[in-house]
């Protein structure tokens, strides 16, 4: 075997290993990581209002904790994670979740009226009952598309 042939075989082996690592990394990156989103819905807008609240249930069936950091929609100027809490004075306050919504491993986070929710502001049109708008939610491990909200 000539030296050139050995170099060719070596390069082929290295390229094959790189390709296998790339495929393995791509498969890992595409893995769902055990997060599921169900029961997504939003309140219809009222009159000329372009603001609504959206609710959903997020289940983390994975082995590691996760945090929902943000939700975005191309149909809205701004989308924020909020939480409604009762103060000691008996007044309901709504505040942004600055650090995101923690979703511990094996737990479920329910975004519902009177608690954590998604505020959708500056919608580009009315959101009627049964209407659909796209969202994207960001967590540290990946970006997950949530295709609709009713």
In this structure, the answer to whether residues 61 and 22 fall within a common structural domain is: no
The domain that contains 56 carries what CATH number?
A: 2.60.40.1890
Domain extent at residue 109: 35-146
Distance of CA 8 to the CA centre of its chain: 46
pLDDT (tens digit per residue) in 41-75:
888 888 777 888 888 888 888 888 888 888 887 77
Identify the CA nearest to 73 among candidates 140, 138, 128.
138
Q: What value does the mean pLDDT take over residues 23-36? A: 57
In this structure, the answer to whether residues 61 and 116 fall within a common structural domain is: yes
Q: 132 in helix, strand or coil? A: coil
Higher-confidence residue: 39 or 47? 39
Q: How far is CA 111 from CA 25, 63, 126, in A?
A: 32, 21, 22
147: pLDDT strictly greater than 90: no
Query: pTM above the 0.75 mark?
Result: no
Higher-confidence residue: 20 or 30? 20
In this structure, the answer to whether residues 51 and 85 fall within a common structural domain is: yes
Measured between alpha carbons, how far is 27 from 136 in angstroms, rounded to an integer?
Answer: 21
In this structure, the answer to whether residues 2 and 72 fall within a common structural domain is: no
Measured between alpha carbons, how far is 49 from 119 in angstroms, rounded to an integer?
Answer: 13
Give 81's pLDDT tier (boundaries 50, 70, 90). very high
- What sections of 31-145 are H helices per DSSP? none
């Amino acid at each position: 075997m000539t030296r050139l042939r050995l170099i060719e075989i070596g390069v082929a082996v290295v390229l094959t290993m790189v390709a296998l690592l790339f495929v393995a990394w791509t498969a890992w990156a595409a893995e769902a990581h055990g997060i599921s989103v169900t029961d997504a819905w939003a309140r219809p807008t009222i009159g000329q209002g372009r603001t609504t609240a959206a609710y959903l249930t997020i289940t983390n069936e994975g082995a590691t904790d996760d945090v929902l950091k943000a939700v975005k929609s191309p149909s809205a100027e701004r989308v924020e994670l909020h939480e409604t809490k009762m103060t000691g004075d008996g007044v309901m306050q709504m505040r942004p979740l600055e650090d995101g919504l923690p979703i511990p491993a094996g737990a479920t986070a329910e975004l519902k009226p009177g608690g954590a929710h998604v505020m959708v502001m500056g919608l580009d049109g009315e959101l009627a009952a049964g209407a659909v708008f796209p969202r994207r939610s960001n967590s540290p491990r990946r970006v997950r598309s949530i295709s609709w909200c009713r």
